[in-house]
Amino acid sequence: MIRRPTLRRSAVIALEVMAGSVAALSVLLMLAFWRLTAGPIPLDFLRTYTEAALEQALPGYDVALERTQIVWEAEEKSLKLEATDARIAGDAGGPTATVPAIQIRFSLRGLLRGLLAPVEIEAVEPSFSVVRLRDGSLRLGPPEGAEPAQPAAGGDALSAILDELNRAPDPGSITGYLEVVRVRRASLTIIDLALGTRWSVPSADILLRRGERGLRSRGRLEFDVGTMPLILSFDGSHRLTDRTSRLSVEFSGLEPDVLARKVPELAALSAIGLPLSGSLEVEAEALTIARSIEVQVRGESGQIELPTLYDLPLPVRAIEASLTYRRDSKMLMLPSLVIDLGTAAKAGPRLSLTGTLIDVGDTGSYGLVAEAVAENVATDDLAGYWPREVGRNPRDWVTKNLEGGGVSRARISLRGKMARDDPGAIEVEDFNGEIAFDGVTTHYMRPLPPVLETAGRAEFSPGRFKIEVESGRLYDLVAGPATIDMTGLDGDSEQADIEVVVRGPLRDVMRVIDHKPLDYATALGIPPANVDGLAAARLVFQFPLVNDLGLDRVKLAAAANMRDVALKKILLDQDFKDGELALTLDGRGMTIKGTGRFSDVPIPLTWREEFRTNVPVRRRITASGALDDAARKRLGFDFLQPYVTGPVPTEIDYRQASDGTDRISATHDLLDATLSLPEVGWSKPPQTAGTARLDIVIPKSGDPRFERFQIAASDLAAAGQAVFMPDFEHLRRVDFTELKLGETDIAGSVVRQPDGLLLIDMSGRNLDLRPVLEEDENEDTADDTPPSFPPLQVNGRFQRVLLEDDRLLDGVEANLVHDGTTWRDVKLAGRLAEAGRFDLVATPATGGGHEFILVSDDAGAALRSFGLFDRMVGGRLRADGRGDFDDFRKPMQAALDIADFRIVRAEALAEVLRVTASKDIQSALAGEGIAFTRLTADIERKEKVTRIRNARAVGAAIGLSVDGVIDDGKGNLDLSGLIVPAYQLSQALGSIPLLGPLIVGGKDEGLLATEFRLDGPSENPRITVNPLTALAPGFLRDLFRFFGDRGGAEPPPAPR
């Protein structure tokens, strides 16, 4: 049987008491908790103990409490002793701080050791000031509105608390148990005596917590600064072992420009006109020596004003930056600063900045290394974003010569110094940068047309700015690559080197080089509008960067390949086309070489243009080609068609001197050409050698001239010079130093007088008129237009003049005057080849035409020389006539009078005399001839027909009368007349009164008179004699005449 254990009665009673006590305590605790949740429980008997505890925690200060009570802190779920309406005053008197409530939590361990030691002190909604003395130390001050008090003799409460918390916990000290100091919803005024300013903090929460390893802090301060609250949230720690500290700060509502106005020492911040937020990380040694600082900043909607760098504030949409300081490297680094410029309505570029400040040991400045990057900048806005004093010369050039489009990225790196006392004072020692752009209009050399839509990049440094254009458009030309390299920008010898490659229409290339100030196309005389073709060209410019830049200081070089080149109306109103040309150009001049077609004639071409002023030849063009009949017609040389036919290879050498004088040399190879001078019956067949040369001089002012003209072909040779009026309007003078054609060998000149009269003076050894006279004989009379002449005066002197059938004249002198309408004066004189002289004078006649007189002292020689009659010897000739010297096809009449001559070897007359005359007369005709004392006749010639009337020849032995027609065109003649033997005897009988006329007959008849007739071909006429007229007496002779008057109607009387 098992026995159940039992308790003693006393034990049971004890357990019951304990249970009851616990239950009662629980009830009491529940009642106390209910009471505490309902409100504080006053414990005023603890007020003096609490004041004493606080005064021990704040040595040197008096603490007065209104009351004390126990409160339940719901947030922390703990009991605290709360003292209300606390006033803290220093030894100097006057309140230092007022605290509506101070909550204190005491240490149980301290109580067990007999110490009323606070573990946690919390001030709720206190109002006090913190004074920053000039030495940088902090002291508690009076509430806002009260005068600052002097620090307590034992030290400052703030410093005491901080010092205590920065020490390890000490169980032997009343403050050694303090772990937490907290301030809630404090109203704080910071009086900065060092800066001379006040800071109002209407709301502050601060927590200080001491641990075994050190002190931690956390808090939030709200400053009343500027247009918005400045809120600082911090979290810090301090390690007791190595005395290092760390502080993290988050802030918002920071207005740097407001701070700058409040604190003059922060004047550099006045540039930033936008609210900032961010964070601050600080690591320090011994609380006061910063080992590292890291700052992160953000901001939106405002502006940055840097008057030393920019003329106007920079509008900012957003900003973000980071800043790092490292004490061991003595560097303040800006890893990143990103600024989005612009406004909410218009976005601007993004600027990125990195940099480093280095303590280089200079007491006045820091070393500065920085790099700024701008993205998406409108080119027209560059002036507003490029710092004014950074790269002044590149900045000036870029902002003045780049427009439109945008910069996708721009970078500038600089090295310099920043003043320690003025961060805005920056001295740039070196810099470099680059710019990437697109769609920009680039003025590479004003006032030349700009390159449009350029894309590329630029590099710059203190003495250099270089732009490399990848592509662009210049008129319709594709431009690129191109380089603009400006050097010497940091000195007095600023220089620009520009190289541009363009491809496209040649017309636009010419437009570029014809633009002011170049005017090259105008100087070449080639309007760009007249140019077609394609070109690929490289242009190089070099010039100093000066304001008064003249063309003489611009060095230009170019190279171009051109195809399908066409130049309209380039010369003689003709086009050049199908050109394949290469151009080179430098500071000395320009050279064009290639081939093409001028007026459809294939030619090689070389053109050299000198730009230097001290050269004798400024321009030279050489070309060659074969001109055929069609080409000469296109060139307007069709007037040469009767004289030149067939291909003529030609070489042209054109030169322009520096004084503006043009010289043109043309050489012609006449081997394959046919030359013809139909007026003189001369020609040169193909494959007969011949050359011609013409040297033309056209001065800038003065008369153009043929300095030399020369032709040599077959038996033709001519050379001389000619002078023209300006623009070749009229010939002023031509001099023939040589003119040979066949037997002709003469020289002379033609001079145009101011009134338009041409003075022609010719002289020489021989003048061969045979081709001219033969041409006159064969001339086609279908064209009845008489030749016309300008006013002229001809003077000629020729040693010998050759006529038909080897007839010639010696010592001929000619003086002819034509007034433009008619020959006013004609005088010819000379020696006959055999003997004697001749003189011809003609003047205008009343009613039109001319009257003329021809005289010679040897009629036979004169008639033979002029091809009229070759059977007369001796005699004196006078011919008075009338004709039209302006048109020799019109009728011409003359009255001949020849005295004392003889007729010899006249076959037709001999045949007539054989029938009618004595043997003595026939013998005389065959020998020395029949002498005549006089011959008179009226002659009319029209269209190769000569009519003879009343021709009478008388002599001692015979008399002769003739009438009739000689037709040279048909080669026929028809003449009739009387032969009177013993003419003087008949004339004696005829003088007998009454009987004489009956015996002799009419005038110039005789006792015996035989009628005859010559008709038929001139070379062999038929001779008919009427013997009955010889047997009949004079008065009956007319009854037996068979042959009537063959001369036709009576001609008009010729002048005598």
Decide: 423 and 268 in contact? Cβ < 8 Å. Answer: yes
Lowest average pLDDT, out of 146-155, 237-246, 847-856, 895-904, goes to: 146-155
pLDDT of residue 151: 46
Dihedral sign for Cα 796, 798, 803, 807, please.
positive
The interaxial angle of helices 907-916 and 919-926, nearest 10 deg, is: 170
Q: How far apart are CA 199 and CA 254, in angstroms?
A: 13
Asked if residue 1008 belongs to a domain, the reply is yes
In a domain, 476, yes or no: no
**What confidence score (pLDDT) does residue 836 get?**
86
Q: Is the pLDDT of residue 173 over 80?
A: no
Residue 424 domain flag: no
User: Of 832, 867, 899, which marks where a domain is finished?
Assistant: 832
Looking at the fold, whether 716 and 801 belong to one and the same domain comes out as yes
Instruction: Return the top range by mean pLDDT from 28-32, 284-288, 302-306, 436-440.
Output: 436-440
3-state secondary structure (DSSP) of residue 404: coil
Same domain assignment for residues 822 and 903: no
For 158-218, the DSSP string reads HHHHHHHHTS---TTSTTTT--EEEEEEEEEEEEETTTTEEEEEEEEEEEEEE-SSEEEEE
Degrees, nearest 5: CA angle 155-157-160? 70
Residues 734, 644 share a domain: yes
Using 50, 70 and 90 to split pLDDT, how confident is the model at 154? very low
Whether residue 372 contacts residue 351, with contact meaning beta carbons closer than 8 Å, is answered with yes
**Does residue 910 sit in the same domain as residue 814?**
no
Cα distance from N-terminal residue to C-terminal residue, the chain: 215
Query: Which tens digits make up the pLDDT trace of 54-77?
Result: 777 677 678 888 888 777 666 655
Q: Are residues 51 and 120 in the same domain?
A: yes
pLDDT score at 550 = 64
Mean model confidence pLDDT for the chain:
80
More confident residue, 964 or 332: 964
User: Is the C-alpha dihedral spanning 862, 863, 868, 870 positive or negative?
Assistant: negative
| Cα–Cα separations (whole angstroms), residue 683 to 158, 574, 673, 680, 709 | 134, 30, 11, 9, 19
Q: Domain check: are 916 and 1029 in the same one? A: yes
Q: How confident is the model at residue 1041, as a pLDDT?
A: 45
Backbone angles phi, psi at 131, to 5 degrees: -105, 125
813 and 939 assigned to the same domain: no
Give residue 220's pLDDT. Answer: 92
Specify the pLDDT at position 897.
Answer: 94
624 and 749 in a common domain: yes
Instruction: Show Cβ contacts of residue 360 under 8 Å, excluding neighbours closer than 6 positions.
Output: 366, 367
State the average pLDDT over residues 140-167: 58
Q: Are strands 95-106 and 118-124 parallel, antiparallel or unpaired?
A: antiparallel
Look up residue 236 and give its amino acid.
G
Distance CA 1031, CA 1025 (A): 13
pLDDT digits (tens, 9 = 90+) for 608-648: 888 777 888 988 989 998 988 888 888 777 777 778 999 99
pLDDT in tens, 697-728: 888 888 888 899 999 999 899 999 998 888 77
Torsion of CA 686, 687, 690, 694, to 10 degrees: 60
User: What dihedral angle (degrees, nearest 10) is formed by the CA atoms of 751, 754, 757, 761?
Assistant: -20
Q: Across residues 833-846, what is the average pLDDT?
A: 88
- Output the CA–CA distances (angstroms, integers) from residue 361 to 238, 357, 420, 522, in the order listed: 31, 12, 11, 65
How far is residue 818's CA from residue 417's CA, in Å, rounded to a whole number? 99
Looking at the structure, do residues 179 and 50 belong to the same domain, yes or no? yes
Task: Evaluate whether residue 360 is within a structural domain.
Answer: no
What tens digit of pLDDT does each residue of 951-1007 get? Answer: 998 887 788 889 999 888 888 989 888 887 654 445 544 454 544 454 445 555 544
C-alpha distances in Å from residue 910, one per residue of 95, 785, 866, 903, 905: 182, 44, 24, 10, 8
Domain that holds residue 217: 40-225
Distances in Å between the Cα of 476 and the Cα atoms of 499, 505, 535 are 18, 7, 12
Over residues 448-477, mean pLDDT: 86
pLDDT-derived band at 904, boundaries 50, 70, 90: confident
Tokens, residue 387: 């710092």
Of the three residues 188, 205, 225, the one that is the final residue of a domain is: 225
Q: Comparing C-alpha atoms, which of 964, 1004, 971, 973 is closest to residue 987? A: 1004
Does the residue 924 lie in any domain?
yes
Residues 763 and 897 both lie in one domain? no
pLDDT for residue 1049 is more than 60? no
- Residue 165 counted as domain residue: yes
- The predicted model gives 874-898 an average pLDDT of 90
Q: Quick one: pLDDT at residue 76?
A: 57
pLDDT at position 717 is: 93
Task: State the DSSP H helix or E strand holding residue 685, giving kind and residue range, or none if neither.
Answer: none
Kindly indicate the confidence band of residue 1050, based on its pLDDT and cuts at 50, 70 and 90: very low
Q: For residue 281, what pLDDT is reported?
A: 92
pLDDT of residue 418: 81
Do residues 349 and 373 lie in contact, with contact meaning Cβ atoms separated by under 8 Å?
no
Cis peptide before 143 (omega within 30 of 0): no
Bond from prior residue into 517 cis (ω within 30 degrees of 0): yes
What percent of the chain has a predicted confidence (pLDDT) above 70?
82
Residue pLDDT, tens place only, 195-211: 788 888 999 999 988 87
Q: Residue 426 — pLDDT band, cuts 50, 70, 90?
A: confident
Query: Is residue 148 situated within a structural domain?
Result: yes
Token code pair at residue 88: 């803290």
Tokens of 689: 């050698």
Q: Which segment, 139-143, 280-284, 285-289, 303-307, is predicted with the most confidence on average?
A: 280-284
What would the pLDDT profile of 492-511 be if each residue is shown by its tens digit?
A: 778 888 888 889 998 888 88
Highest mean pLDDT among 425-429, 588-592, 815-819: 815-819
Does a structural domain hold residue 956?
A: yes
Q: Which residue has the higher pLDDT, 1008 or 273?
A: 273
- State the pLDDT at residue 424: 63
Asked if 705 and 827 sit in the same domain, the reply is yes
**How many domains does one find in the chain?**
3
Alpha-carbon distances of 808 from 282, 745, 795, rounded to whole Å: 132, 15, 19
3-state helix, strand, coil in the chain (%, to 5): 15, 55, 30
Write down the pLDDT at residue 989.
44
- Find out whether 112 and 172 touch, Cβ atoms under 8 Å: no
Please check whether residues 682 and 818 belong to one and the same domain: yes
Q: Which is more confident, 1024 or 759?
A: 759
Residue 918, CA atoms < 13 Å, CB-side half-sphere: 10
